[in-house]
Structure formats: C-alpha cells, structure tokens
Amino acid sequence: DVKVTQSSRYLVKRTGEKVFLECVQDMDHENMFWYRQDPGLGLRLIYFSYDVKMKEKGDIPEGYSVSREKKERFSLILESASTNQTSMYLCASSPGQVNGYTFGSGTRLTVV
C-alpha cells in the first residue's frame, strides 16, 4: 500500500522554537508539497519541490523553509515558531503533471 507518512500526528511547541515536520513517501514521486489547512482559508501551498535539492515557494512561504536532500523525504522547517503558525500541516506527493496527489495524514501543530 503506497504511502505518504508524516512523522507526527500532533505537536505542541513553544513560541520561538525551531520546528521540523518530516514527510516521507515510498512511491518514487518526483513532486512533493507542503500545505497548511485553516478553517475558512482552505489549503494553502507553503512550498513544493519537483526534484531533489530543488524547492519553490508557494503562496505563503514566510516563516518557513524546506529541505529535500533525498527524493523520498521533504521536510518543513519553522525557523522560529509563532502562534499564527498553529495549524494543520499536510504533506502530499505526486508523480508529475496532471495527476492527483497522495496526502499524508496531517500534523496538527499547536504553538503556545
């Protein structure tokens, strides 16, 4: 069964902490994405990557960075967590153009 695995379902972090969200896919997909989902705002794209060591900003990259050192792993980094980054974070992967995404189960991050 193909999968996108996010390392944590729930996280609670303090303001100012550096936070790492990990995502691993086992489908050999080229493309990986990080979204955040908030009530009333839907899914918003933070960053995406279409190849190892390649990354592009999405719609709301401020306060975030990413790392893709290996094809199967895409990490989202909150450099200094703030309360407005409390959200549901969803990782997804896809094999290429005009294909649906496979999503992970999500990480619900609370910054206090």
Partner 1 sequence: SQELEQSPQSLIVQEGKNLTINCTSSKTLYGLYWYKQKYGEGLIFLMMLQKGGEEKSHEKITAKLDEKKQQSSLHITASQPSHAGIYLCGADRSINTNAGKSTFGDGTTLTVKP
List, in sequence order, the alpha helices (H) in 1-112.
none
Residue type, 83: T
Among 8, 67, 77, 103, binds partner 1 (CB under 8 A): 103
Nearer to partner 1, 42 or 69 (CB): 42
Using CB under 8 A as the binding rule, the residues of this chain from 62 to 91 that contact partner 1 are 88, 90
1 binds partner 1 (CB under 8 A): no
Q: Which residues of 9-42 are buried (b: 16+ CB within 10 A; e: fewer)?
A: eebebeeeeebebbbbbeeebbbbbbbbeeeeee
Residues that bind partner 1 in the complex, under the rule CB under 8 A: 4, 6, 31, 33, 35, 40-43, 45, 48-50, 56, 58, 88, 90, 92, 94, 96-106, 108
